[in-house]
Amino acid sequence: MPRNRIDANVRCPSCNGQLYPRVLVCDSCGLKVEGDFVMNEFGALTPDELHFLRVFIYCEGRIRDMEAALGVSYPTVKGHMASIKEKLNLASTRPSASAPAAENAAAPGGSQTADEVLDGLDAGQISYEEALRLLRARKKEAKSDEQQGG
């Protein structure tokens, strides 16, 4: 018979503070381990925020796909993402892996879509001026292609 489980995201009913595990129990053999356990940063997320991250991974980070999957607008997706970044203390840091992405985004003659350029701008990987330059270059390429084709 399964035990009643308590969601780890439950807050203290007295002060609304974060609750931390003190006892771990093995369901197979009944072993109990007591102590001060540290939760990872995802333990502080609400069930809705964890669902958002699951959808993010399922959609492989494509915001357009997330909009459809969640039934919300682009700004809403970006707002949820910013909120989670802040909660995970990632709002002011940028992973080192983003440096190559910034170099690719700024490369002249790059083949980014307008959405990719805007995403790079939003992520802080390129400056406003660089995004404007890339978008204007795309516009010129599109006009040139249109004139050659028609």
Q: Which residues are CB-contacts of 19 (< 8 A; sequence separation ≥ 6)?
A: 8, 10, 11, 12
* Mean pLDDT, 10 residues at a time, the chain of 150 residues: 63 85 91 87 86 95 93 92 88 52 44 80 79 84 74
Q: Which residues of 55-87 are buried (b: 16+ CB within 10 A; e: fewer)?
A: ebeebeeebeebbeebeeeeeebeebbeebeee
Structural domain includes residue 99: yes
Predicted local distance difference test score (pLDDT) of residue 71: 93
Structural domain includes residue 107: yes
Q: Are 117 and 138 in contact (CB under 8 A)?
A: yes
Domain carrying residue 101: 94-143
Structural domain includes residue 104: yes
Structural domain includes residue 14: no
Is the pTM here over 0.75, yes or no?
no
Q: Are 42 and 56 in contact (CB under 8 A)?
A: no
Structural domain includes residue 114: yes
Structural domain count of the chain: 1
Predicted local distance difference test score (pLDDT) of residue 32: 95
Predicted local distance difference test score (pLDDT) of residue 26: 93
